[in-house]
Amino acid sequence: MSLAMEINISILETLVVALIILFSGYYCNSKVSFLRNNNIPEPVVGGIIFSILAAIAHSIFDIHFNFDMSFKNPLMTVFFTTVGLGASYSLLLKGGPKVVLFLGVATVYLLVQNAIGVSIAIGTGMNPLMGLIGGSVTLSGGHGNGATYADLFITEYNMPANIFELAMAAATMGLVLGGLVGGPVSKRLITRYNLKADEYHEELDDTITFNPEDHDLVTPKKMMETLFIILLCMTVGHIVYLNLKAADIVLPAFLMPLLFGVVATNLCEVSKRYTISRACIDLWGTMALSIFLALALMSLKVWQLASLAGPMVVIILIQTVMLMMFAYFVTFRIMGKNYNAAIIAGGHCGFGLGATPTAVANMESLVARHGPSPQAFLVVPLVGAFFIDITNALVIQLYLSLPFVSP
């Protein structure tokens, strides 16, 4: 008879393990083409490997790891604050009407995506919040968003703790499917309507790059200035969050820092007193998200998924079919029913089920075979990387306000 062993890991040791998980994910992605081609995030790969090892330790040796997760939530908030800081009005203007139009199309689908998830959850006797987990929370939102809302549902809506594992499973499954279905959808549109790429002109080169200032040198001073702005937005946002919570207004902890990030970056642009380095924003955001996901996935209990994953798999598969139909019949037509629209439809499949890198990978494989689409490479990354996270947070909050979703 074996005795259970509890291993307590300090905060510094926890960060060391998180980085080992992250680096192991980078190594696996560099060696396994399937992971690399489908843009499976490195912390997810490393986290899944660690969770399998932890499951073996749990089932065979009855060993349990207790990590100090003090940095997890602050890192998550740092990431979402950088999302807000990246959502400048000038980017929206530079993208022109197509960016606004695609943002509208993608936002409408967020409403559809959650309606599908909640309807299936209610129809199968599950908690309606599970429908949001199988909706835009994890699919359009990704792993970071899924982990954030899983935590919110556990603390504020008394959902079971294993909802986190379900959220990670749903986000991972969506990421893979998003990389698989986007290409076929666009290829079918291109073939059916005999679409051809526009003639490529040199003046289109500038539309591929969002902002020349993105190439600013990254210096320690600029990194610290950017960190100061991030922490300032987080501090003010946290104060507002606490006041709203005291008034019985329940919001995700990251939402107010994100919105203050939007305000800060646009005030800087309008006043022209200071320019926030986009390169530094991207670096802080990428580092924070990667370490946050590694920390979040360290506690993944895969042995709890067997009895829970079935209904969620059904929801994700239905969501995949519905997004393919939406991209084919709605996104393509609204975006102009031309070659660029077909490429954008494939990109929509990518980030509507997975993430912006998945969308870009879908489009890159398509233009390599059928010709360039600079417009698609401007519109989809702008919406997927900057603006959809904001509208997604608002749409999720709308659903949470409905009495039949969160009674």
- Other CB atoms within a 10 A radius of the CB of residue 371 amount to 16
72 has pLDDT over 70: yes
The segment with the largest mean pLDDT, out of 16-25, 143-152, 246-255, is 16-25
Domain ranges of the chain: 5-400
Residue position matching structure tokens 């209610």? 122
**Contact assessment for residue 284 and residue 82, using Cβ atoms and an 8 Å cutoff:** yes
H/E element, 20: helix 11-31
What average pLDDT does the structure give for the chain?
85
Two tokens, residue 310:
């079935």
For residues 379 and 104, give the distance between their C-alpha atoms in angstroms, rounded to a whole number: 12
Q: Is the pTM of this model over 0.85?
A: no
pLDDT of residue 204: 39
DSSP state of 8: E
The pLDDT confidence band at residue 359, using thresholds 50, 70 and 90, is: confident
Q: What are phi and psi of 62, to 5 degrees?
A: 55, 45
pLDDT of residue 365: 78
The pLDDT confidence band at residue 1, using thresholds 50, 70 and 90, is: very low
pLDDT of residue 203: 39
pLDDT of residue 278: 84
Which parts of 254-373 fold into alpha helices (H)?
Answer: 255-271, 278-298, 309-326, 332-334, 339-353, 356-370
284-340 pLDDT, tens digit each: 988 988 898 888 778 766 665 555 567 788 899 999 999 999 999 999 999 999 999
